[in-house]
Chains A and B, each alone.
Chain A
């Protein structure tokens, strides 16, 4: 079931996908990075892992180690009013500590940038460019932090906005986030992230009625 989403555009993802957000140095912070990198990182984390069997800190540390990355995404949105899902594609960019950009390229171009406390939403076709403070839209912040704080490996911020339930292993994990704010929960019930090591591969958002699932493929 889960793997269905990784089948994007008719082509199956490689069995051992490269890191979702590949870094410039070629190091993904994602799981399934090329063997040398993977080995090196595992060696670094090994002593910690030996002490604490809980892989969550390990995953967070691996995520935090990635300073920059780029990845392609395919998003499917299912809504009760629609008889088939809406599909859009684009590029995700991450730069530590807090710059995350979702650039949708098709079918309608849109740029969504969370940089520090600033949100920018651009829809060139409609001539829309809006800048907002994240503080000014408290109901959006948890949704942004669900992905951004995870990318940053910032568990404290993540827990500030969500209940975090982690399952799986370092190599293949799954994190279910439930927004703490009732107001937010009225719109977004749950955000589920799946990944391998320091890479996020799937972000699934369950909304009141409807959900989106974003499958992520690292780029180099």
Chain B
């Protein structure tokens, strides 16, 4: 044991240094998780809007909770206790579980501005007849049980401007109330919250979810009660957890399998350490370079980049296994270097277009993979031979029969090429592989969670937003005025039933112009006093009973309009306005939401008549963005492919290059044909995996095709071919064991990666064998 340690001291020391470097580097590197980095730069205003919405839209911060599994009154109690706790936590801009509760400060502000804000403050409300009706209503109210409320507001606001204002806000909540809170059938109490943290801030979203669970647990829920939680933030956390759990299970299983295989093949667990050195060195280099170049590393670039770096596992295997008898490891490294160099250069060439693609995410991914590949190749060439004893590691020979069969494959080349041609024709006739167009299908969120979200959304009455109307203006006032004009232009649609309603920012905060107009339309003080006096006749009100009303109107007249900047004291109004009016770079965007669209054509026609109003059909636009992203990735991959071909042609001559290209292209084609046959829709995950596949496929073809380049006597050539075959088989088995199990996962990203690599690596290997330069049958 001690001898073993002494012998491999250098290797262990290097591993220890690399292992220590990781946490140090990760502390320096800032990781980011903005998925929009991976979406193309918006080409149209519609897509720009949608991308911004995905990135920071209010919808991304909405959480919906359901509490079920108890009696309605217990659930209501829990709902109230939770709402109070969540509000106190300070994590949420808005918590709602029933009718809106307005705090005293906000109520005072709204009352002060009631005649400017309320839709009920029209001149018609102040005629003598209308005032008489208002006064009678106040009297009726004073007789009833709600008298304290009526007294509180009735004498200052007999026309009900303030109550109409608040009631107007509640009108869009279509949830039934029971025991004072929202209650859906079941019974299921419903809570809504808007987190202060952004929807894409996964960590903060995990904290908000935790706040919900803690509030539930602390609210003394009845036995059997359950908390259901949904929302984009929950999705992100849930997805991360699912992926992490899947990855943990699969990586444990595959580590065991890979380790078992390597131990069998090299008669020692040391090969694991050997493989780890170039991989860690490459990853470290990639992290450092990407962080230096971009100032941060994108989480997805790291994830996908690591997938693509899976190919560098092959480098040390090729070195150790490819060592000829009697050769030192250093000599072997020198001998395989030209091939390894070409493989790496070609792979980097394939990644270069990603750097130039213009998507920050894709560029990072390209840089990450390219740096990692170069780092790992250099480590294999220069560091590994220095770390290991000259004779490397012992290698167990492969079973003879297997090698025999595989080495004879080139003799069947014609059949293989014919089969490839048939598959190509079949694939072309079948219309090619189908592309994934539904963004939801790419979501790593488990389906059950998505279903729950749909149910909760429906129950809470959140509109199913299919179409969003949006407009931009230089400032908030202009945006609000434009929204008012647009709402007026679309009003006939509501009347005709083409849409059920229209939500817009000016509904909550009218423009300053509208506020001023409303105030200007208020009757003169003397006139109003006369009318009140007349309306009072025959009613038991004292002469000065409505003095607060007259004073309120006078005070309102001198008040400056309420603007979005004044809403700090009005959190409820601010929370209602925020999703509909948004500060953007160089302007303000207003959002108008039509509900229950029954006549899309009428809506489109009406919208087109409003200058500056842009209708965005969410689903179609999302699909267009996705198609654009996939299309761009494919175009850049094609450019990369051409570069690879040029490089291979330069390194191996026209025939050699073509042979490798056919092996590589054939493998990719077989893979996509197989995926199509399995009914898979091709997504960006398949395409990323295909890049890895292209990398390993090229290595196989290069190393198996290398023997002719160094052709010596037939005997030596065959021996070398067998050794190369052994190396490549080991590479393939390791890759299969690493990625194959991912195909069994249900998370789309893992499943797609696993399946593509599994199918592709097998195809690439068989094609590389078949297309290797012919030696005829070995003796």
Answer whether residue B679 sits at the interface, using C-beta atoms and an 8 A cutoff.
Answer: no
Say whether A133 contacts B540, CB under 8 Å. Answer: no
Say whether A187 contacts B179, CB under 8 Å. Answer: no
Binding stretch for chain B, among A34-42, A77-85, A164-172? A77-85
Say whether A207 contacts B177, CB under 8 Å. Answer: no
CB within 8 Å for A79 and B151 given contacts A107-B143, A118-B73: yes
Chain B interface size band reads 20 to 34
The answer for the CA separation of A107 and B136 in the assembled complex, in Å, is 12
Instruction: Please report which residues of chain A, range 63-111, place their CB below 8 angstroms from some CB of chain B when the two chains form the complex.
Output: 77, 79-84, 86, 88, 102, 104, 107-108, 110
Annotate A115-154 by CB proximity to B: 1 below 8 A, 0 otherwise.
0111001010100001111011100000000000000000
Interfacial chain B residues near A112, Cβ < 8 Å: 145
The answer for the CA separation of A104 and B147 in the assembled complex, in Å, is 13
> Across the two chains, which residue of chain B brings its CB closest to A144?
B145
> Distance (Å) between the CB of B482 and the closest chain A CB?
36
Answer whether residue B383 sits at the interface, using C-beta atoms and an 8 A cutoff.
Answer: no
Say whether B151 contacts A210, CB under 8 Å. Answer: yes
> Across the two chains, which residue of chain B brings its CB closest to A110?
B144
Interfacial chain B residues near A110, Cβ < 8 Å: 143-145
Interfacial chain A residues near B144, Cβ < 8 Å: 104, 108, 110, 121, 123
The answer for the CA separation of A112 and B143 in the assembled complex, in Å, is 12
Most chain-B CB neighbours within 10 Å: which of A81, A88, A108, A132?
Answer: A81
Say whether B542 contacts A135, CB under 8 Å. Answer: no
Instruction: Please report which residues of chain A, range 175-220, place their CB below 8 angstroms from some CB of chain B when the two chains form the complex.
Output: 187, 207, 210
Instruction: Please report which residues of chain B, range 145-170, place their CB below 8 angstroms from some CB of chain A when the two chains form the complex.
Output: 145-148, 151, 155
Answer whether residue B140 sits at the interface, using C-beta atoms and an 8 A cutoff.
Answer: yes
Say whether A133 contacts B180, CB under 8 Å. Answer: yes
The DSSP consensus for interface residues of chain A is strand
Say whether A79 contacts B143, CB under 8 Å. Answer: no
Say whether B145 contacts A133, CB under 8 Å. Answer: no
Interfacial chain B residues near A187, Cβ < 8 Å: 148
Say whether B143 contacts A104, CB under 8 Å. Answer: yes
The answer for the CA separation of A104 and B181 in the assembled complex, in Å, is 27
The answer for the CA separation of A104 and B140 in the assembled complex, in Å, is 12
Interfacial chain B residues near A125, Cβ < 8 Å: 140
Interfacial chain A residues near B80, Cβ < 8 Å: 133, 135-136
> Across the two chains, which residue of chain A brings its CB closest to B76?
A133
The answer for the CA separation of A124 and B7 in the assembled complex, in Å, is 94
Say whether A133 contacts B77, CB under 8 Å. Answer: yes
> Distance (Å) between the CB of A126 and the closest chain B CB?
8
CB within 8 Å for A77 and B147 given contacts A83-B541, A133-B80: yes
Interfacial chain B residues near A210, Cβ < 8 Å: 151
> Across the two chains, which residue of chain A brings its CB closest to B177?
A131
Interfacial chain A residues near B142, Cβ < 8 Å: 77, 79, 82, 86
Say whether A121 contacts B145, CB under 8 Å. Answer: yes
The answer for the CA separation of A137 and B180 in the assembled complex, in Å, is 9
Answer whether residue B178 sits at the interface, using C-beta atoms and an 8 A cutoff.
Answer: yes
Say whether A132 contacts B179, CB under 8 Å. Answer: yes
Say whether B178 contacts A136, CB under 8 Å. Answer: no
The answer for the CA separation of A118 and B179 in the assembled complex, in Å, is 6
The answer for the CA separation of A83 and B80 in the assembled complex, in Å, is 41
CB within 8 Å for A83 and B179 given contacts A110-B145, A117-B73, A135-B77: no
> Distance (Å) between the CB of A35 and the closest chain B CB?
37
Answer whether residue B545 sits at the interface, using C-beta atoms and an 8 A cutoff.
Answer: yes
Interfacial chain B residues near A118, Cβ < 8 Å: 73, 179
Interfacial chain A residues near B146, Cβ < 8 Å: 121
CB within 8 Å for A81 and B545 given contacts A86-B139, A131-B177: yes
Say whether B180 contacts A77, CB under 8 Å. Answer: no
The answer for the CA separation of A157 and B180 in the assembled complex, in Å, is 22
The answer for the CA separation of A88 and B140 in the assembled complex, in Å, is 10
Say whether A108 contacts B143, CB under 8 Å. Answer: yes
> Across the two chains, which residue of chain B brings its CB closest to A81?
B545
Contact of B143 among A77, A84, A102, A117 (CB under 8 A): A77
Annotate B9-27 by CB proximity to A: 1 below 8 A, 0 otherwise.
0000000000000000000
CB within 8 Å for A131 and B179 given contacts A83-B540, A86-B139, A136-B80: yes
Say whether B143 contacts A86, CB under 8 Å. Answer: yes
Interfacial chain A residues near B148, Cβ < 8 Å: 187, 207
> Across the two chains, which residue of chain A brings its CB closest to B539?
A82
Say whether B151 contacts A136, CB under 8 Å. Answer: no
The answer for the CA separation of A81 and B146 in the assembled complex, in Å, is 17
Contact of A133 among B73, B139, B140, B541 (CB under 8 A): B73
Contact of A84 among B155, B181, B540 (CB under 8 A): B540
Say whether A83 contacts B542, CB under 8 Å. Answer: yes
> Across the two chains, which residue of chain A brings its CB closest to B544?
A81
> Across the two chains, which residue of chain B brings its CB closest to A188?
B148
Interfacial chain A residues near B181, Cβ < 8 Å: 133, 136
Interfacial chain A residues near B179, Cβ < 8 Å: 117-118, 131-133, 135-136
The answer for the CA separation of A132 and B45 in the assembled complex, in Å, is 47
The answer for the CA separation of A196 and B139 in the assembled complex, in Å, is 34
Interfacial chain B residues near A108, Cβ < 8 Å: 140, 143-144
Say whether B180 contacts A132, CB under 8 Å. Answer: yes
Interfacial chain B residues near A130, Cβ < 8 Å: 177
> Distance (Å) between the CB of B414 and the closest chain A CB?
82
The answer for the CA separation of A117 and B179 in the assembled complex, in Å, is 8
> Across the two chains, which residue of chain A brings its CB closest to B176?
A131
> Distance (Å) between the CB of B96 and the closest chain A CB?
13
Most chain-B CB neighbours within 10 Å: which of A107, A112, A116, A136?
Answer: A136
The answer for the CA separation of A83 and B148 in the assembled complex, in Å, is 18
The answer for the CA separation of A40 and B545 in the assembled complex, in Å, is 53
> Across the two chains, which residue of chain A brings its CB closest to B179?
A133
Instruction: Please report which residues of chain B, range 65-115, place their CB below 8 angstroms from some CB of chain A when the two chains form the complex.
Output: 73, 76-77, 80, 98
> Across the two chains, which residue of chain A brings its CB closest to B543?
A83
The answer for the CA separation of A38 and B540 in the assembled complex, in Å, is 43
Say whether B143 contacts A82, CB under 8 Å. Answer: no
The answer for the CA separation of A187 and B150 in the assembled complex, in Å, is 13
Interfacial chain A residues near B147, Cβ < 8 Å: 77
Interfacial chain A residues near B76, Cβ < 8 Å: 133, 135-136
The answer for the CA separation of A32 and B189 in the assembled complex, in Å, is 48
The answer for the CA separation of A132 and B76 in the assembled complex, in Å, is 10
Say whether B541 contacts A102, CB under 8 Å. Answer: no
Interfacial chain A residues near B155, Cβ < 8 Å: 81
The answer for the CA separation of A80 and B540 in the assembled complex, in Å, is 11
Say whether A131 contacts B541, CB under 8 Å. Answer: no
Interfacial chain A residues near B77, Cβ < 8 Å: 133, 135
The answer for the CA separation of A112 and B98 in the assembled complex, in Å, is 21
The answer for the CA separation of A77 and B151 in the assembled complex, in Å, is 12
Which residues of chain B have a CB within 8 Å of any CB of chain A? 73, 76-77, 80, 98, 139-140, 142-148, 151, 155, 177-181, 540-542, 545
Query: What are 17 A-B pairs at a CB distance below 8 A?
Result: A77-B147, A81-B541, A82-B540, A82-B541, A83-B540, A83-B541, A83-B542, A104-B144, A108-B143, A108-B144, A110-B145, A118-B179, A121-B145, A133-B76, A136-B98, A207-B148, A210-B151
* A-B interface, 9 closest residue pairs, ranked by CB to CB distance from nearest: A136-B180, A133-B180, A81-B545, A133-B179, A112-B145, A132-B180, A82-B540, A110-B144, A84-B540
Contacts beyond the supplied A81-B155, A117-B179, A118-B179: 4 A-B pairs with Cβ under 8 Å: A82-B541, A133-B80, A133-B181, A136-B181
